[in-house]
Amino acid sequence: MREPIEWLDDGTLGGSPHSPRFGDRYRGEFGGLDQSRDVFLKGCGLPAAWGNAPRWCILETGFGLGLNFFVAWQAWKADPLRPRLLHFVSTEAFPASAEDVLRGALSHPELLPLAEQLQSQLWGLLPGFHRLAFEGGQVLLTLCIGDAKAMLREHRFQADSVYLDGFSPQLNPGIWDIHTLKAVARCCRRGTRVATWTVARSVRDALAQCGFVMMKTPGTPPKRDKLQGSFDPTWEPKKAHARAASSPLGAARPAASCVVIGSGLAGAAVAASLARRGWQVVVLDAGATPAAGASGLPAGALVPHVSSDDSLLSRLSRGGIRAMLQQAGTLLQAGRDWNPTGVLEHCVEHARKLPAAWLQKPTQEHEQDLTAAASDWTRPATTEQLAHCGLPPDAPALWHVRAGWIKPASLVQAWLATPGVEWRGDAAVEQLVRQEEWWQLLDAAGRELARAELVVLAAGYGSQALAEAAGLIGSRELALQAIRGQASWATHAPGTVAALPDFPVNGHGSLIPAMPLSDGSGAFAWVSGSSYERDNPRIEIRAADEQENFRKLKRLLPAAAGHLAAQFEGGKVNAWAGVRCATPSRLPSLGPLDQPNLWVCSGMGSRGLTFAALCGELLAAELHAEPLPIEQRLADALRPQYVGSRSPLKIQEI
């Protein structure tokens, strides 16, 4: 069930939203728009304060129906001096449905186009962070679903402006109490501007106690007063946000030059994320074309991981899929380069359990109902879906709603086309030499290939040798494992497209039933796989792997295997092989290494499509001490892993 909202007739198009949970209105009695502009935007000195800044971070407590976000976004759009990047981070314990958010904007027609864009991304809001991207990634909304205190503790950025909003302190005291305001203060730097509509004594006292210097100013009619001020404690604030200070290039430092080594999914994603922030990025690759490594896979599946305890991997995979869907939706042509068809997971080996709270309504009033948000992601497969795949009604299977297939090379090309990115092929890096302020990258003959202030190793399994070349040896050797894999594919024979399911199926190997070939012929191919051979870094084709792929397909989808048998048995199947690169935790390795301005983004394992877009954004956000797209706890799980050091997580099968 979605958060219930009553729409009271106030003569406006949509009506006035009222929360039965808190017994309060969502917005002031005159529509809320004036309040939003006057109390919050102007109260924080915006838009003037952000003029010419490279980025600006607004932190809000209480997202409600998103009015303050729309107003900030609208002001950003209208301002010729707008920052390159606008971050809007908002906490919300009880998210309204997408329909209600849109309805809330009906009274303000100028905001409707923005509300429609938000509505299309407001799905699957399970507890935790959700990064939504607008304006080509220049307006980033981080919705933090859960108790404000807990959500704020997962942040390490410093806000430039703070909006304290929410239902009234009498009706929802928790969001105004000293603990929440302390958590807000932890996200402030000296000088962060703060604004709120309430002048309640308890709030003013708590704010003063937390180091905010506030004053009453004339309110937005009919309210007499409002509060505005800034974070200016009499004590030296703790360096709780050490990340900003320890960011190797410094949070405030403008974007500089970077070389990314490797132009697969990982390298291209990093390059695009940095270029969007104004970096000049050179991407070097040993191959003659981009996506010469594992990312040259003809097509791969994009599917979230699920587990009964909603593990780190499961949560990270959802963050990754959301980021990837945004990127693919913006950059690729649906039906040609990708297709978000949904994916059926046939749990051949063992039935996968969904978290109990995803399937059952809560019995206690204070518990949140997650069923609707969870079913936006994954639900038990229906008998119709199973029948469509030729599977019996009792086959253990899940339906992943936000899933599909992607041609990785198309996405790599699109990312490399981002202004500010330059790709150079036939450029195998052998040596990394630290000069005074920069890295010099040399080939085997000692010729300089490039130089830059920052280097990112995104060379798949090759990242291990590159880290070694940069001096990371012994206990600082990167723990990466090569896992060779082979996929089978063929152009469809007459009649086989119609005989296969309309969507990919995974669970024991996988089948992508129909992707158009990139040669312009209009023909369709299927892709099935893949073999999994640990500790083999060689790209080689093996006949035995083809047989293995066919055997897997027979268990995964017996009917489909029957239709493709003639091609498998008649030697009409092509093979494609590549080398995955995995870490002991089976999570990517992302972060700074023990050398100045040297970062790694690798270890995507079997989930490059799931993780690449998220990792690109995460790396860029960490470099600039921006708000992260995922909780700090999840980001910490991606720290680079070294040989011999204990994995932070138990090893999982990927």
Instruction: Return residues touching ligand FAD (CB under 6 A).
Output: 261-267, 284-287, 292-295, 297, 300-301, 408, 427-429, 458-460, 462, 466, 485-487, 510, 529-530, 578, 580-581, 602, 604-610
Query: How many angstroms separate the CA atoms of 357 and 367, rounded?
Result: 10
Query: How many angstroms separate the CA atoms of 587 and 606, rounded?
Result: 10
Minimum gap (Å) between residue 485 Cβ and ligand FAD: 3
What backbone phi and psi angles, to 5 degrees, belong to 108?
-130, 80
Minimum gap (Å) between residue 351 Cβ and ligand FAD: 22
Closest residue by Cα to residue 49 from 214, 235, 193:
193
Minimum gap (Å) between residue 537 Cβ and ligand FAD: 10
Q: What is the 3-state secondary structure (H, E, C) of 523-574?
A: CEEEEEECCCEECCCCCCCCHHHHHHHHHHHHHHCHHHHHHHHHHHHCCCCE
Minimum gap (Å) between residue 480 Cβ and ligand FAD: 10
Cα dihedral 357, 359, 362, 368 sign: positive
**b/e string for 444-483 if b means 16 or more Cβ within 10 A?**
eeeeebbbbbbbbbbbbbbbbebbebbebeeebebbbbbb
Minimum gap (Å) between residue 295 Cβ and ligand FAD: 3
Residue given tokens 């999982």 in the structure block: 652
Of the two residues 232 and 430, which places its CB atom closer to ligand FAD in the complex?
Answer: 430
Exposure of 184 by Cβ count < 10 A (0-12 exposed, 13-18 middle, 19+ buried)? buried
Minimum gap (Å) between residue 515 Cβ and ligand FAD: 12
How far CA 53 is from CA of 57, 76, 135, 162, 629, in Å, comes to 11, 12, 17, 17, 21
Query: How many angstroms separate the CA atoms of 533 and 384, rounded?
Result: 35
Of the two residues 63 and 489, which places its CB atom closer to ligand FAD in the complex?
Answer: 489
Minimum gap (Å) between residue 424 Cβ and ligand FAD: 9
Minimum gap (Å) between residue 509 Cβ and ligand FAD: 10
165 in Cβ contact with 197 (< 8 Å):
yes
CA count, 13 A, side-chain hemisphere, 512: 33
| Structure-token pair, residue 129 | 């962070």
Of the two residues 87 and 580, which places its CB atom closer to ligand FAD in the complex?
Answer: 580
487 in Cβ contact with 549 (< 8 Å):
yes
Minimum gap (Å) between residue 611 Cβ and ligand FAD: 7
Minimum gap (Å) between residue 205 Cβ and ligand FAD: 52
Query: How many angstroms separate the CA atoms of 604 and 598, rounded?
Result: 18
Of the two residues 190 and 534, which places its CB atom closer to ligand FAD in the complex?
Answer: 534
Query: How many angstroms separate the CA atoms of 414 and 408, rounded?
Result: 10
Query: How many angstroms separate the CA atoms of 210 and 477, rounded?
Result: 44
**b/e string for 376-412 if b means 16 or more Cβ within 10 A?**
ebbbebeeebbebbbbeeebbbbbbbbbbbbbbbbbb
Q: Within 10 A of 621 (CB to CB), how many other CB atoms are there?
A: 24
Of the two residues 31 and 287, which places its CB atom closer to ligand FAD in the complex?
Answer: 287
Minimum gap (Å) between residue 233 Cβ and ligand FAD: 44
Of the two residues 285 and 622, which places its CB atom closer to ligand FAD in the complex?
Answer: 285
271 in Cβ contact with 416 (< 8 Å):
yes
Of the two residues 211 and 462, which places its CB atom closer to ligand FAD in the complex?
Answer: 462
Of the two residues 16 and 528, which places its CB atom closer to ligand FAD in the complex?
Answer: 528
Of the two residues 241 and 484, which places its CB atom closer to ligand FAD in the complex?
Answer: 484
Minimum gap (Å) between residue 82 Cβ and ligand FAD: 33
Of the two residues 66 and 605, which places its CB atom closer to ligand FAD in the complex?
Answer: 605
634 in Cβ contact with 319 (< 8 Å):
yes
Of the two residues 183 and 612, which places its CB atom closer to ligand FAD in the complex?
Answer: 612
Query: How many angstroms separate the CA atoms of 458 and 292, rounded?
Result: 13
Of the two residues 83 and 298, which places its CB atom closer to ligand FAD in the complex?
Answer: 298
How far CA 223 is from CA of 29, 64, 199, 218, in Å, comes to 10, 20, 10, 8
Minimum gap (Å) between residue 466 Cβ and ligand FAD: 6
- Position with the least CB separation from ligand FAD: 264
Closest residue by Cα to residue 581 from 458, 412, 496, 444:
458
Of the two residues 368 and 510, which places its CB atom closer to ligand FAD in the complex?
Answer: 510
Of the two residues 548 and 626, which places its CB atom closer to ligand FAD in the complex?
Answer: 548
Preceding amide of 513 cis, omega within 30: no
Minimum gap (Å) between residue 441 Cβ and ligand FAD: 9
Minimum gap (Å) between residue 262 Cβ and ligand FAD: 3
Of the two residues 470 and 625, which places its CB atom closer to ligand FAD in the complex?
Answer: 470
Query: How many angstroms separate the CA atoms of 360 and 358, rounded?
Result: 6
